[in-house]
Amino acid sequence: MTFPASQIALLINGQLEGDASSVVSSFGKIEEAQPGQLTFLANPKYEDFLYTTKASVVIINTTYELKQPVSTTLIRVTDAYSAFATLLSKYQEIIQQQLTGIQEPSYISKTAVYGQNVFVGAFAYLGENVKIGDNTKIYPNVYLGNHVSIGENTVIHAGVKIYHDCKIGSNVILHAGTVIGSDGFGFAPQADGSLQKVPQIGNVIVEDNVEIGANATIDRATIGSTIIKSGAKLDNLIQIAHNVEVGHSTVIAAQAGISGSTKIGNGVMIGGQAGIAGHLHICDGSKINAQAGLGKSLKTPGVAVTGSPAYEYNQAIRSQAIARNLPEMEKRIKELEVLVKQLLAEKTT
């Protein structure tokens, strides 16, 4: 597939500078791109490559001022990074639209229903009363339990397992190996010291425009639903426990763990390897730094915390600064002690 610069500029609402007929057929990094490729410049660290790149078309910000002539065609936009992401998304859509039909061998229940332009890869399993919307792609070795529903334009990558009764929205991406709807971790201690399993009879609801990385696990609710709300983005290797709610447009980095029944607000940012205790409430816009251990609710919107146990970010930075100066402070205190002893000695003589 080839695209002229004029068509690309129209797609991202950009302003052309140079040859509008320049054609590209693939993407490349600005320092490595070859003729026929498209790239972008958003980070000033790479601006020197703008004058040496062999790319046919480069997307740059409207505010960027050239320091010398360039040989490539430029497309100026408000945000080069976002514009490039838009192009990659469109390119991926075109590729995925070419995937349609049912590959064999696969198992599809007679009661399962699916829309138009659906793709089901080999060795997939679709249980009783499964519902799949238009243009959704189910890659090989996916398991969809009974009564699972999936919206339109959703991509379920290879090896994903979605247990019974779970609901996946439209424009969702689930990456390889992710498990949706496994049992929540619930056991009742008995008088004899044994642990009785508490049946997990709820489900998981993943709303529209959510992306969940590879090998993540989202546990089903004990009763009710574990909910990942629209626009949330979850990285690889994340554990979401039973009855958790993740708010709209919240982002969670890899290896984070959220304990049961915690409610996370909208627009929250959670760093990698952070751990959050159960039954907490995390206010909108909160920021939880990587490897933080959060044991209490965050009740003030927009607060940032770090450390384990986690506490307010600015206080933590000041504490760290003081800790670094402790050896010097100890030395000065000892010097002051010596001076005080000398003064006391002089006073008594």
Catalytic residue ranges: 242
Q: Give the C-alpha separation, 257 to 239, whole Å.
A: 5
Question: 3-class DSSP state for residue 8?
Answer: helix
Cβ distance 269 to 251 under 8 Å?
Answer: yes
Q: Which residue is listed with tokens 């100066």?
A: 325
Residue 140: Cβ-neighbour burial (10 angstroms; 0-12, 13-18, 19+): middle
Length of the chain counted residue by residue: 349
Q: Which residue is listed with tokens 């709820």?
A: 202
Cβ distance 183 to 220 under 8 Å?
Answer: yes
Cβ distance 288 to 272 under 8 Å?
Answer: no
Q: Give the C-alpha separation, 147 to 152, whole Å.
A: 16
Put residue 11 in one of left, alpha, beta given phi > 0 → left and psi -120 to 50 → alpha: alpha
What is the DSSP track for 129-177?
T-EE-TT-EE-TT-EE-TT-EE-SS-EE-TT-EE-TT-EE-SS-EE-TT
Nearest in space to 203 (alpha carbons), one of 242, 156, 158: 242
Q: Give the C-alpha separation, 298 to 69, whole Å.
A: 52
Q: Give the C-alpha separation, 192 to 31, whole Å.
A: 67
Nearest in space to 247 (alpha carbons), one of 236, 255, 258, 21: 258
Distance of CA 130 to the CA centre of its chain: 27
φ/ψ of 24, rounded to 5, equals: -125, 150
